[in-house]
Amino acid sequence: MTDFFKGITPLRYDPSSTDLAFRHYNPDEIVMGKRMEEHLRFAVAYWHSFAWPGGDPFGGETFERPWFGNTMDLARMKADVAFEMFDLLNVPFFCWHDADIRPEGDSFAESLRNFEEIIDYLGAKMDGAKTKLLWGTANMFSHRRFMSGAATNPDPDVFAWSAATVKACMDATHKLDGQNYVLWGGREGYETLLNTDMKRERQNAGRFLQMAVEYKHKIGFKGAILVEPKPQEPSKHQYDYDVATVYGFLKDFGLEDEVQMNIEQGHAILAGHSFEHELALASSLGIFGSIDMNRNDYQSGWDTDQFPNNTPEVALAYYEVIKAGGFKTGGTNFDAKLRRQSLDAQDLIAAHAGAMDICARGFKAAVAMTEDGTLEAMRQDRYAGWDTSDAKAMLASDFSSIAERVASTGIDPAPRSGKQEILENIVNRFV
């Protein structure tokens, strides 16, 4: 045991508590036939909680953590602290990048040795813990070698380094029985077309993803391969801009049946969408997998990764998750970080506890809306005309036949209300 969380006791469900506790999240509460924990599948993000130093685009480190440094001893201390926090929060999952958990070596071989050693250390800790691995991924955006991308880099040696890195991370995820593997193209984009061969970069990125899928099958990994869309930041033009863009990319390379989406609220906002839009689109395309739960500052132009605190927004997101059939291998990963002024160990626990409560409140509201059924009934009524035999026959016909029918029957459609305000009022009954 470390003393980082000294004095903080494991959190319990206690709606009347005025101290650190869950007031809305009861993991054992049965909702829609399952425990709430099994529905929400919370995960802690290793990078923001234990590796992020508290910087922003305008200033550097504000956190001084005892495990910060580039040695294996400090990496093991970081893991010890992480699992103490997992126990305090009673979370079922966590997620990592390779660079979060191991020191950077002077060569690929040294970094790999460090990584494999810390994976064994994490595996030993997981043997005696409740918390399992939701997903692993590779950090191919922080080091300067990735400044021009990883799979899309103009230097084939960087492509090779990246492929070897993803192989190692997939091996580690498989070894730890991770339930998914995520590919996030943090710098898979470009800053100017003046030095960019877009066709070549897209082709290389597509082949890279095909190789990842091929390797998944080679090693017998049964989890999902997830791609996480992110627009604009750090590259202005990202090849994985949003769900629609990624789906077109998957179709282009024959991967639409192999790859699913890990969708983040903050990234949806940067793309000019809502979180629920991206979730609904992924569901309609059959590629919904998992979510990164956070929020963005609506006045800032970058990905602020704040913990969620808006119940209505969260409720609408989980409403789409429920409509998609809920999580299978995915879950709710808190890709969220403390504010730079929140320095204390208690802040880290309170941030997660509050986010878990917000998610529980939003999820229960989404369940209530689903079970009430009014929203879905009104949606179905709006499109009921398409279920008639005439409408179905029209879709099987052609323009000429349709035009003839319009002329012969005197079709003159009257506009119908979309009832948006009424629908919003219905949502407000639950949130």
Distance CA 37, CA 89 (A): 12
Rg of the Cα trace of the chain? Answer: 24
Distance CA 229, CA 292 (A): 11
Pairing type for strands 332-334 and 42-45 reads parallel
C-alpha triplet 408, 414, 416: angle, nearest 5°: 140
Q: Which of 360, 376, 380, 374 is nearest to 431 (CA)?
A: 360
Specify burial of residue 380 (Cβ count, 10 A radius: 0-12, 13-18, 19+): exposed
Distance CA 92, CA 27 (A): 10
Looking up tokens 């506009």 gives 415
Distance CA 228, CA 105 (A): 27
Q: Are 90 and 11 in contact (CB under 8 A)?
A: yes
Which of the residues are catalytic? 97, 100
Helix (H, G, I), strand (E, B) or coil at 266: helix
Neighbours of 375 (CB within 10 A): 15
Distance CA 185, CA 188 (A): 5
Distance CA 363, CA 271 (A): 24
Q: Are 170 and 213 in contact (CB under 8 A)?
A: no
Neighbours of 227 (CB within 10 A): 25
